Structure 1
């Protein structure tokens, strides 16, 4: 009983002592801030070349869709997609029988026209001889008439025969001209048929590769029917569109940087080779073709990114090491006058090597931590180091 009493008494005394020290809210003594050593710099705006970045598609500089020039059945297709070709290689053979029939018909028409020409020449020669005889007779009768040795009736008959002979000669000369014109037409038709016979064998226009095949053996080809698509290898360009507000800053021959992700993000320097002078009416943009350097393992249709310099502009740049990712937030540690770090949300823009553009959240003249250590937290004191 006595021991229990003394235990309760001691507990009450301890409680009274503890309750006697009242600490008002907000009056706790501040703990000393943790200090982190880190490099600090002042934000400055620098003049950097402004670059417009656009997505582009790799295309061959020279590509052709080979089409049929005559009507006929496709007898054979001698290449497949992906085959390399040389200039003059036989690609497609079209049944030449229709062309052969046209060639025979044209040859027959030429022979007929030449026979008609020979006949017209003979008729002209005969008419010329008759006209010469009629003219001689007429001249003699003119002299006899002057001597009153012929009657008017005889003179008129001779004169009429002379005029008829001249008219016949003119008619035969016109027949000769018409016959010669028909000969020329028949010769042109023969040449055209001979060319068409060559068109039955479709040849490669240049060295390259077959990228698409649109016909098979047995298909009917007609003039204009696409047969194959070929492109010249080794020469490619990156095609992109540029908004009209930037078109005045771009000129042919200027350098552009091209990045091809499919080739391990290789970065090469291209040249603006062509600017299509007319803008697209709906997008108000111009098509730009950037010539790629040779020797790259490029393929038509590859994705690329192109950066085109469009002049200088003021940019606030910070080292990439100064940017901290906190979940979905991007920020920089700004240092105030008391050297206390404050995490400031920023918006990042274009990257320039190991530096990044700060679009908003950081002003010129503000101090910031250029290389934020992992232990740095908002509210910590920073000791600046070199």
Structure 2
């Protein structure tokens, strides 16, 4: 019984000692976290109203003004290829020569038939003018001539189609047939892009759409050409949003020869609104919460209070405040990471002016 009492007493003593040590540690930890026994020193800035100009910056993709798939309109064996991938060709240049023996023969036959039909018609037309033949003898020859001319047009077109040509001036990006291969009407033989002008496609949010309109100046930058700014003009803006509630936009620009772009490259697209407006702004450094849940510490009579805000657009080192603050409020810009709601503070330095009267 005596040993049992001793064990209980030792156990109680251990519990009391542990509790005392924990209380002492917690007290020291609180002091270490703050580092100050008095008011915590902070720096603050007066909330102000400033003139801002709305702007946006999004990622866009470069596309050729014309991206054309070239198809065969005839059937036959490719006898000669006059192009390689990467070559620049003018519109009308021959890319492939398809076997044209049958088409050339048909075209010559149609031409001769047309010549003969024309001669017969003209001879009988002259006789009709002289009164030697009746009108009924001339009309069938006129129809025969018209039919021969139509056959010549068809045969000529088939003969010309044996030369597959460039539909537009540009660069050949792909070749899908080789010499000796058989092609049929509708078979894709090449791809051509016209890079003399570029289309810049990008997507804007509901708010960003209001900043621009058709004809607006758009700035284009690229990591490939650091420090260079290229000017583009907004060509079109969709009137209907996609599933992600963004609107497709397209700007156009000349492809600079000194710093050329290629189809498929990524660029940065930026633009500014037409007019300035007045808005409440604070330094970005004043934010204590996250971007999704922005908060600031407002100093009032030496006490720091947490205040939730609604943040708007960013302008360099400043951020727009849509609600939660009014001009004249004092927000902590340095030291807020050590603060908690209701903590006593002393402002070491306060910058900015109060609201204008």
Q: Report the TM-score range of the alignment, normalised by the length of the smaller protein.
A: 0.5 to 0.7
Q: 1:381 aligns with which of 342, 346, 351?
A: 346
Change (3 A) 1:91 1:267: same
Change (3 A) 1:325 1:245: closer
Per the TM alignment, residue 328 of structure 1 is displaced from its structure 2 partner at its CA by 9.7
| Contact persistence 2:309–2:322 (CA under 8 A) | yes
Alignment of 1:85-234 (within 5 A): 85-114=89-118, 116-117=120-121, 120=124, 124=128, 128-129=131-132, 169-170=133-134, 173-217=135-179, 218-222=181-185, 224-234=186-196
| Contact persistence 1:209–1:233 (CA under 8 A) | yes
Per the TM alignment, residue 290 of structure 1 is displaced from its structure 2 partner at its CA by 1.0
| Contact persistence 1:73–1:221 (CA under 8 A) | no
Please identify, of 63-72 and 258-267, the stretch whose mean Cα deviation from structure 2 is larger. 258-267
Aligned mates of 1:42, 1:282 — CA distance in 2? 42
Alignment of 1:1-386 (within 5 A): 31-36=37-42, 38=43, 40-51=44-55, 55-114=59-118, 116-117=120-121, 120=124, 124=128, 128-129=131-132, 169-170=133-134, 173-217=135-179, 218-222=181-185, 224-241=186-203, 250-260=212-222, 268-275=230-237, 279=240, 287-292=248-253, 294-295=255-256, 296-309=259-272, 315-323=279-287, 331-338=295-302, 340-341=303-304, 348-359=311-322, 362-370=325-333, 372=334, 377-378=339-340, 379=343, 380-386=345-351
Count of paired positions: 310
Aligned mates of 1:243, 1:293 — CA distance in 2? 26
Q: Indicate the SS of the match to 1:240.
A: strand
TM-score where L is the length of structure 1 = 0.62
TM-score where L is the length of structure 2 = 0.67
Please identify, of 376-385 and 245-254, the stretch whose mean Cα deviation from structure 2 is larger. 245-254
Q: Provide, for residues 246-281 of structure 1, a one-character-per-residue CA deviation record: whole Å limited to 9, x for no partner.
A: 8787433212344546656965442112346x7479
| Contact persistence 2:63–2:199 (CA under 8 A) | yes
Aligned mates of 2:178, 2:118 — CA distance in 1? 43
Structure 1: runs of 5+ lacking an equivalent = 1-25, 130-168
Per the TM alignment, residue 91 of structure 1 is displaced from its structure 2 partner at its CA by 1.9
Per the TM alignment, residue 32 of structure 1 is displaced from its structure 2 partner at its CA by 1.8
What do you get for the CA RMSD once the two structures are aligned?
A: 4.2
Per the TM alignment, residue 103 of structure 1 is displaced from its structure 2 partner at its CA by 0.8
Aligned mates of 1:327, 1:319 — CA distance in 2? 14
Aligned mates of 2:246, 2:311 — CA distance in 1? 26
- Structure number with higher helix proportion: 1
Change (3 A) 1:65 1:326: closer
Change (3 A) 1:220 1:355: same
Aligned mates of 2:312, 2:182 — CA distance in 1? 56
